[in-house]
Amino acid sequence: MLEIKYIRQNISQVRDAMNRRGDAANIDTFEEIDNEYRKILNEIEQLRHRRNVVSDEIATMKANKENADPLISEMREVASRIKALEAGLSGYEEKIQEILFSLPNIPHESVPFGKDENDNPVVRSVGTPVSFDFEVLPHWTIGENLGILDFERAAKITGARFPLYFGAGARLERALISFMIDLHVNIHGYTETLPPFIVNSRSMTFTGQLPKFAEDLFKLEGRDYYLIPTAEVPVTNIHQQEILDESLLPIYYVAYTPCFRSEAGSYGKDTRGLIRQHQFNKVELVKFTIPEASYQELESLLKNAEAVLKLLELPYRTVLLCTGDMGFASAKTYDIEVWMPAQNRYREISSCSNFESFQARRGGIRFKRKGEKGTQLVHTLNGSGLAVGRTVAAILENGQQADGSVVIPEALRPYMGGLQKIEKLKA
């Protein structure tokens, strides 16, 4: 959410920014409604002032045993007038709230203008895709052949887009989670957290999933509870409505959680394999920082996420999302894309964003500087470090051998009980 004061004072810049993101419709109605709102509010405040003054007079008159009846009957009318105006005002208030909640963040100046993912510049490419001298198989085939992935049975249990792992596959998923968390905790200095996997609508609103993207979420029937689509939601909300001491910042959290997404509107996309599931595991990095440090923190966050791929020896590239491809709440986002041999292209495996004060404003996450009065909003950042299911897919495809086995990256072997390659389970 943007600051209403900022919008009022910089209406043309905001309109410009919304245009760059491809939607400025709300800004025009905002100006109109806001003016009307302030007009009414002004009238109400004058009446309230009058009421406050006269109520005091009534109090003193009563104390002096004087007759205050005329004033009281006058105030009776003032009160009903106020009530009527307030009823009208709340409509405008709601409308303004609605617009504020629907406005995306303003892109940082370093974000290139663009329409969609084709306009995302590549920042760097690391590692070289291996060339195979046999027919490259997609990870779902590899996994099914090895007996470690079973989408058919998963569909029986639940439905489409759910994973079921066996044996070394299940172990691989678990190993990756531990490996990633250990790396981020021991080497990168993050604090491990294990948050709730279900959150209320307030938390969803603070991080930006609600009210605009409700259709992407799974909601629990009859309750104000949602399954989290990412650990970003519960972890960022750890500090909602708090005033943090400056000395605590920056705060780094790493959290493993399953993620649940309805994937509405993506029918037909990535129907096979682990790429697009209703439930997947992810290790997420979240930072809270002072404003002036947030962009350098974004760079280090990105490096932290990339480090996972480097250690797993998976080829990847990093792209900077253009204005038209960025997420709603983000001011700047890098995507990390891993090489998927069977698809012969790079696929997103991490997304690292700086939200600046967008989430902090919604969630009331502030900090206090020593020696200064007042509080300031923190900047929040997060990034996947990494999406685990997609990492499994990448390992299966990049590590596949002619005989159908899959070589496990060396860094991961200690987490696999020393296993070097995954071979077909005995039937």
CB of residue 342 to RNA, shortest distance in Å: 40
Contact flag: residue 246 with RNA (CB under 7 A): no
**Given the residues 261, 361, 362, 366, the one annotated as active site:** 261
Helix (H), strand (E), coil (C) string for the chain: CCCHHHHHHCHHHHHHHHHHHCCCHHHHHHHHHHHHHHHHHHHHHHHHHHHHHHHHHHHHHHHCCCCCHHHHHHHHHHHHHHHHHHHHHHHHHHHHHHHHHHCCCCCCCCCCCCCCHHHCCEEEEECCCCCCCCCCCCHHHHHHHHCCECHHHHHHHCCCCCCCECHHHHHHHHHHHHHHHHHHHHHCCCEEECCCCEEEHHHHHHHCCCCCCHHHCCECCCCCEEECCCCHHHHHHHHCCEEEEHHHCCEEEEEEEEEECCCCCCCCCCCCCCCCCCEEEEEEEEEEECHHHHHHHHHHHHHHHHHHHHHCCCCEEEEECCCCCCCCCCCEEEEEEEEECCCCEEEEEEEEEECCCHHHHHHCEEEECCCCCCCEECEEEEEEEEEHHHHHHHHHHHCECCCCCEECCHHHHHHHCCCCEECCCCC
Nearer to RNA, 90 or 186 (CB): 90
How large is the greatest C-alpha to C-alpha distance in the chain, in angstroms? 103
Instruction: Rule CB under 7 A: choose which of 16, 32, 56, 152 binds RNA.
Output: 56
Instruction: Rule CB under 7 A: choose which of 24, 33, 40, 41 binds RNA.
Output: 41
Is 369 labeled as catalytic in the residue annotation?
Answer: no
CB of residue 168 to RNA, shortest distance in Å: 26
Site for RNA, residues 82 to 141, rule: CB under 7 A = 90
Contact flag: residue 42 with RNA (CB under 7 A): yes
> What character string, x for contact with RNA (CB under 7 A) and - otherwise, covers 375-394?
x-------------------
Contact flag: residue 196 with RNA (CB under 7 A): no
CB of residue 396 to RNA, shortest distance in Å: 32
Please choose, out of 56-64, 97-105, 111-119, 292-300, the segment that lies near RNA by the rule CB under 7 A. Answer: 56-64
Is 261 labeled as catalytic in the residue annotation?
Answer: yes
Beta bridge partners of 226: 199, 219
Contact flag: residue 222 with RNA (CB under 7 A): no
Nearer to RNA, 38 or 303 (CB): 38
Contact (CB, 8 A) for 296 and 104 = no
Contact flag: residue 55 with RNA (CB under 7 A): yes
Nearer to RNA, 124 or 373 (CB): 373
Amino acid at 175: A
The site for RNA, by CB under 7 A, has a size of 33
Residue length of the chain: 427
Please choose, out of 72-80, 142-150, 306-314, 419-427, the segment that lies near RNA by the rule CB under 7 A. Answer: 72-80
Is 276 labeled as catalytic in the residue annotation?
Answer: yes
Please choose, out of 52-60, 294-302, 385-393, 418-426, the segment that lies near RNA by the rule CB under 7 A. Answer: 52-60
Instruction: Rule CB under 7 A: choose which of 15, 26, 43, 48 binds RNA.
Output: 48
Instruction: Rule CB under 7 A: choose which of 16, 23, 38, 266 binds RNA.
Output: 38
Q: Beta strand pairing status for 242-245 and 365-368?
A: parallel
CB of residue 373 to RNA, shortest distance in Å: 6
Contact flag: residue 11 with RNA (CB under 7 A): no
CB of residue 227 to RNA, shortest distance in Å: 17
Q: Which residues contact 129 (CB under 8 A, 6 or more apart)?
A: 315, 339, 341
Is 21 labeled as catalytic in the residue annotation?
Answer: no
Is 351 labeled as catalytic in the residue annotation?
Answer: yes
CB of residue 299 to RNA, shortest distance in Å: 29
CB of residue 360 to RNA, shortest distance in Å: 12
The rounded distance, in Å, linking the Cα atoms of 124 and 332 is 17
Contact flag: residue 243 with RNA (CB under 7 A): yes
Return the structure tokens found at 391.
């990492």
Contact flag: residue 373 with RNA (CB under 7 A): yes
Instruction: Rule CB under 7 A: choose which of 70, 222, 265, 371 binds RNA.
Output: 371
Q: Which residues bind RNA (CB under 7 A)?
A: 3-5, 8, 38, 41-42, 44-46, 48-49, 51-56, 58-59, 62, 72, 75-76, 78-79, 90, 243, 370-371, 373-375
The residues that are catalytic are 261, 276, 348, 351, 390
